[in-house]
Amino acid sequence: MEKSDKIYIAGHRGMVGSAVWRALEAAGYSNLTGRSSSELDLRDARATSAFIADEQPAAIVDAAARVGGILANSRNQYEFLLENLRIQNNLIQAAHEAGVPKFVFLGSSCIYPKMAEQPIREDALLTGPLEPTNEGYALAKIAGVRLIQALRDQYNRDYVSLMPTNLYGPNDNFDLETSHVLPALIRKFHEAKQNDNAPVTLWGSGSPRREFLHVDDLARAVVHALENPLPDHLYNVGTGSDITIKELARTVQRIVGHTGEIRWDTSKPDGTPRKLLDVSHIHALGWKAEIGLEDGIKRAYEWYLENSSSVKPQ
C-alpha cells in the first residue's frame, strides 16, 4: 500500500469504521473515502457495484453491518441474517468485479460454535452448533468468510477476514435495547449513580466469561492487514484473556463510581458460557493488542460522558 492509495471504508461512521479511519490517518494515509447509508445503500447491489467501479479504490475495509446485543439479535434474526448477507455480498462481489486489489472483511467471534474448545482457534469454524440467540448474524458472517476464502483460492485475491472478539470504545452504541454488554453496563451504572446510586439489575448469572478488545486495537490490526501480505484467509483478533461478566460489572461499577447494589436476574439467558479467542495466529505476524481492559473502560466512559447528550433516552 502507498500512503496516497484510495481506501474505501464501508461503515466509516460506526464505531469500527471510524476507528479504522483514525488509525489509517495516523499511519499517514491521505486518500480515505466513505459514504453514509443515505448516500449509498450497500443493500442495493447495483448502487454498490456502480460506486466501486467508479471509485476504483486500492483497498476496501468492510466495517458495515447491522449489529446489536443479545436482545436485538434474538428478536431480529431475519433482519440480521438478510441485511448482513446483502451488505457483504454486494461489497465483496463489487470489489472482485472491479479488480480491487485488497479487501478486509470484518466479522465477529460469534461465527464459532457455542461449545467450541477454548481458546477458539480459526479451524473451529463450522465444527458445531452456533449460539441460538445470534445465529442469524453469525450465519451471515460465516458466509462472508467463505466468500473471501473462495476468492483467494479461485482468483488469488489478496482478501482477508478478521474476526474480532467483543469490541468497545468511542462511538459505541449505548442504546440499552440494542447495545452490547460493556456499553450497556457503562450506561446503566452511570444513570444509577445519578439516581442516588439506585440498584442495577443485570441479565443472567454473571458467570459467563468474555474477552473484550478496544476498537482502536482492532483498527491497528486492520492497518496491519492492509500493509502486509497475510498467508491465510482468516485471523482471530483479540487480547487472549477473558473475564466473567460479574467481574466486568464490578470493574465498570468501580470506574463509574456507582456504590449501589448489583442484582442478577437469572431468569434471563446467559448466552454462550465462554468465548475466548486463540490469537496466536495473528500474534505470529506481528500484531498484539496494546490497550488494557481497565484503561480501555476508562477511555470509553470518558467518551460517554463527553457525548452522553447525544445518547437516546430510554
CATH number of the domain within which 161 lies: 3.40.50.720
Domains in the chain, number = 1
Quick check: is 1 in a domain? Answer: no
Asked if residue 57 is part of any domain, the answer here is: yes
Annotation-wise, does 206 bind a ligand? no
User: Does the residue 2 lie in any domain?
Assistant: no
Within a domain: 150: yes
233 vs 310, more confident: 233
Q: Given pLDDT bands bounded at 50, 70 and 90, which one contains residue 77?
A: confident
- pLDDT exceeds 90 at position 70: no
- Find out whether 172 is annotated in a ligand binding site: no
Mean pLDDT of 292-296: 98
Residue 272's pLDDT is 75
* pLDDT digit string, tens, across residues 132-142: 888 999 999 99
Q: Is the pLDDT of residue 68 over 80?
A: no
Instruction: For the chain, give the percent of residues with pLDDT over 90.
Output: 85
Asked whether residue 125 is marked as a ligand-binding residue, the answer is no
Please tell me the total number of residues recorded for the chain in this structure: 314
State the DSSP H helix or E strand holding residue 65, giving kind and residue range, or none if neither.
Answer: none
Over residues 25-35, the mean pLDDT reads 98
Per-residue pLDDT at 314: 56
pLDDT at 269 over 90: no
Residues taking part in catalysis: 137
pLDDT digits (tens, 9 = 90+) for 243-268: 999 999 999 999 999 999 999 999 98
Q: Is the pLDDT of residue 2 over 70?
A: yes
What pLDDT is stored for residue 258 in this prediction?
Answer: 98
The one-letter code for the residue type at 258 is H
Has residue 178 been placed in a domain?
Answer: yes
Confidence class of residue 179 from pLDDT cuts 50, 70 and 90?
A: confident
In a domain, 74, yes or no: yes
pLDDT at 69 over 90: no
187-205: average pLDDT: 97
Q: Is residue 170 part of a domain?
A: yes
- Rounded average pLDDT over 97-109: 97
d(CA 108, CA 295): 23
Let me know if residue 55 belongs to a domain.
Answer: yes
Mean pLDDT computed over 48-74: 88
Where helices occur in the chain by DSSP H, the ranges are: 15-26, 45-55, 70-75, 77-98, 135-155, 181-194, 215-227, 245-256, 280-283, 293-307
Is 180 annotated in some ligand binding site?
A: yes
**What is the CA 64 to chain-centroid distance, rounded?**
10
Q: Tell me the CA distances in angstroms from 265 to 203, 243, 251, 270, 304, one per residue in order.
A: 5, 19, 19, 10, 26
pTM, full prediction: 0.94
- At 180 the pLDDT is 84
Per the structure, the complete domain to which residue 144 belongs is given by 7-310
